[in-house]
Chain A
Amino acid sequence: MSEKEKLLKNVRMYKFAMIEAGMFLDTHPNDKEALEYFRKNKALAEKATEEYEKRFGPLTLRGAGEKERSWDWVKGPWPWEGEK
């Protein structure tokens, strides 16, 4: 697995944990354990996103336009192209 794939895997993992825990919390809004799990993964997702974007470009508009002189958002490959 390339470094890019490894970093993206981390982003996916922590963001998926947020989605999953968030959905559970929608119907269990007072569950302390789930809330703690969500917070932990949110912090990890933020860190993993920052690490990925620093090296391989923006994942959302929020991460775009940070360092290069031209607009990095537009650069391929795009996620549906099946490239690594």
Chain B
Amino acid sequence: MWSYDKKLEYPVKIARPNPALAKVIISQLGGPHGELGASMRYLHQRYSAPYDEVKAILTDIGTEELAHLEMVSAILHQLTKDMTIDQIKKDGFDTYFVDHTAGLYPQFASGNPFSAETFASTGDVIADLHEDMAAEQKARLSYDNLLRLVDDPDVRDPIKFLREREIVHFQRFGEGLRKVIDDLDSKNFYAFNPSFDK
């Protein structure tokens, strides 16, 4: 089970509202490479994971992704809480505002709502871990693209932290995959699925 720590993993303190930035950063909340999908991906895959190391890494990274979901939410909240109607109109935030005001809703930057179609849980540890490594790279490149778009140092700072964590997670999943592969038949890694076949 989980319990809540009343703190962010890394601090978020943004002085200036900026709905234009919120419009693109929201993709890291509920978009195709966002933190909601990341946490749900790992926390659902772990049940069929065959080794303690892989169960542990999916649990621990899935849990950290929940903390990242909270950090992205804090960024979005602080970018929008004191925005003016003029800013909303000028920045094109009106299409979000009409449905959600300054509330948080997990969606893609394009406006599509969050979808579980953004992740897989296959019950095959090789397929899952490869997906996880790709997902960490996709999240990393999304943060790289955001860093190209964002000038405000208050916003860049927590985004840089989040970007670094994607790289560490990629490394850990790679180590998990290696452990799985080492245990398989080196002449045919796919002869059986260690998540299902006994």
Contacts and interface: CB of A to CB of B under 8 A. Distances in A.
Interface in A25-84: 73-76, 78-80
Contact of B56 (A73, A79, A80): A73
Interface residues of B, number: 8
B161 interface: no
Contacts, number: 14
A78 B54 CA distance: 11
A80 B53 contact: no
Contacts of B59: 78
B172 interface: no
B52 A80 contact: no
Interface residues of A, number: 7
A64 B175 CA distance: 21
B190 interface: no
B47 interface: yes
A74 B47 contact: no
A7 B56 CA distance: 23
Interface in B55-77: 55-56, 59
9 contacts: A73-B56, A74-B53, A75-B52, A76-B52, A76-B55, A78-B46, A78-B52, A79-B1, A80-B47
Q: Which 4 A-B pairs have the closest CB atoms?
A: A74-B56, A76-B52, A74-B52, A78-B55
